Amino acid sequence: MTLPLRIGIWALVHGNRAALNDPEEPYDASWPRNRALVLEADALGYDCVLVAQHTANPHKEELDQLEAWTSSAALAAETKRIEIICAIKPMLYNPVVLAKMALQIEHISQGRFAINLVNAWNQKEIVNAGIAFLEHDERYAYGGEWLSVVERLMRGERVTHHGRYFQVQDYMLRPAGTFRPRPRIYVGGESAPARDLSAAQADVWFINGQPLEDVRALIQDVEARPRSGEPLRYGLSAFVIARETEAEAEAAYQRLLALAALDGDIKAYVKANTDPAVVMRQTMAKSVRVGTNGGTAAGLVGSYQQVADRIAAFHEIGVETLLLQFQPFEAEMRRFAEHVAPRLAHLR
């Protein structure tokens, strides 16, 4: 069954998505900016927003960093229709505490909340807080057990769990099930353990931006893995540069590429703090691109019609949810809503 296309955005939790020093987009990761951005996205008809979780800025620690969970609660109270997807690194929160937080935001939003489990790539964020940074595959074992506890608690079940990492005795949370059985669960990561976890426990698997055929192969691989219940759904991150003509889009791309080349210190800082076993970094090294989480590697650079056609092609192979990045963000988000989204109305 082909599901309707959903189009979302990334919140600017650590500012610019393509290049730090852009005269067209001064750095700003503040709450007022993010509030205004998400409220506008809600009004423009975007379907979801991903609020990534970092305690300190992963690109440059002197810069501002939006806190994901407190901000998501505030956004839940102020928005009307947009789904709020809040990322979570399991090592940072006890599953009982996190499940309660998720249920509260679900209640505030009246059934528009989701969690996005990511098993952490930034070693400094974890280690410098005095938390053990587990080996790559063990992080997924930990995350899988953590999620199994959270999922049952979000359903309102009475949970007793005695596992390798967690001990929970006779716990039940309320309110639960007021608007639907539980909040939606997204999982990110492309390693073999991440694919297993997504197939077994996610509602939606998030894929980092990459070419169509690579995404097709990833979806086919995960669909071949054991799963029970509803079919897994798929999401894709992508950076969009859309213009009236392909030449204009290419010029805009080259502008951002040149600006991004000035961020060598940031790239070195990120690399130094990244677990080398993280598949995302290996995937990203395959292409020249701008943007995070794959960015323009998904190929959404071109005329309005070209970008719409490429999005339609991703939708045809099973991508239901697109999480988009832009720069300068607000202006390009409006441009997409005006010129590209109407060309996709039949899929939405």
> What is the tens place of the pLDDT at every residue in 187-244?
999 999 999 999 999 999 999 999 999 999 999 999 999 999 999 999 999 999 999 9
pTM of the model: 0.97
- Total residue count of the chain as it appears in this document: 348
CA-nearest of 207, 232, 169 to 323 is 207
Specify the pLDDT at position 281.
64
Specify the pLDDT at position 277.
81
Is 1 a member of any domain?
A: no
How many domains does the chain fold into? Answer: 1
Is 121 a member of any domain?
A: yes
pLDDT in tens, the chain (348 residues): 679 999 999 999 999 999 999 999 999 999 999 999 999 999 999 999 999 999 999 998 899 999 999 999 999 999 999 999 999 999 999 999 999 999 999 999 999 999 999 988 889 999 999 999 999 999 999 999 999 999 999 999 999 999 999 999 999 999 999 999 999 999 999 999 999 999 999 999 999 999 999 999 999 999 999 999 999 999 999 999 999 999 999 999 999 999 999 999 888 888 888 888 887 666 766 777 999 999 999 999 999 999 999 999 999 999 999 999 999 999 999 999 999 999 999 999
Q: Is the dihedral of CA 91, 95, 98, 103 positive or negative?
A: positive
Specify the pLDDT at position 280.
67
According to DSSP, residue 277 is labeled T
In terms of residue numbers, what domain contains 164? Answer: 6-347
Residue 242 and residue 304 in contact, taking contact as beta carbons nearer than 8 Å: yes
CATH number at residue 89: 3.20.20.30
Specify the pLDDT at position 284.
63
Specify the pLDDT at position 273.
82
CA-nearest of 246, 238, 250 to 315 is 238
Q: In a 3-state reduction of DSSP, which class is residue 83?
A: strand
Specify the pLDDT at position 270.
86
Q: Per the structure block, which two tokens stand in for 108? A: 């505030």
Q: In a 3-state reduction of DSSP, which class is residue 204?
A: strand
> What is the tens place of the pLDDT at every residue in 43-65?
999 999 999 999 999 998 899 99
According to DSSP, residue 214 is labeled H
Residue ranges with strand state E in 189-311: 204-207, 233-239, 241-243, 301-303
DSSP 24-68: TB-----HHHHHHHHHHHHHHT--EEEE---SS-SS-TTS----H
Q: Give the count of beta carbons closer than 10 Å to the beta carbon of residue 109.
A: 24
Specify the pLDDT at position 1.
61
Residue 185 and residue 206 in contact, taking contact as beta carbons nearer than 8 Å: no
Cα dihedral 290, 250, 212, 326, rounded to 10, equals: 50
Is 174 a member of any domain?
A: yes
Is 276 a member of any domain?
A: yes
Burial class (CB in 10 A: 0-12, 13-18, 19+), 124: middle
Is 289 a member of any domain?
A: yes
Residues facing 323 on adjacent strands: 8, 237
How far apart, in whole angstroms, are the C-alpha atoms of residue 60 and residue 79? 30
